[in-house]
Amino acid sequence: MQDILLLSGPNLDLLGTRSPEIYGAATLEEHVAAARARAALAGLGLRHVHSNFEGDLIEAVHGARVDAVAIIINAGALTHSSWALADALAVFTGPKIELHLSNPAAREPFRHLSTLAGVVDGSLAGLGALGYPLAVDAVVALLAQR
């Protein structure tokens, strides 16, 4: 079975309790389960990696070059600062979707920059829990075009 790699960055393990008025009440595990269920409907597996450490996420992207067909990434605050993560993603040749529960463009000015935007195929932002299954749908559509 082909796998999608779902990456979750710093502080996303606090979903459900951290600022639910911004990020919603669902936990990270619930978002992952929704994405995994949508991937299964398309005949794909989904492997999830969460880390609060930038290097772990970069290593996961490197590993995906041999064991994943696509990457969905919610990099959390690293979205706005990690050129190293962007460089790692740039080398991955499969579909890449950037995902955010909230809409960074409608938030604090430092969140308006995405270091990842230039190396991903597309971004989903501000759709809350809907974003996770929609990101899988985007990956499936992009894979079908290849």
Annotated active-site residue in 31, 48, 50, 100? 100
Annotated active-site residue in 23, 31, 48, 132? 23
CA distance linking residue 119 with residue 90, whole number of Å: 5
CA distance linking residue 133 with residue 146, whole number of Å: 21
CA distance linking residue 22 with residue 91, whole number of Å: 32
Beta partners for residue 5, in sequence order: 47, 71
100 is catalytic: yes
CA distance linking residue 102 with residue 129, whole number of Å: 10
Task: Give Rg (Cα) of the chain.
Answer: 14
| Catalytically active residues, by annotation | 23, 100
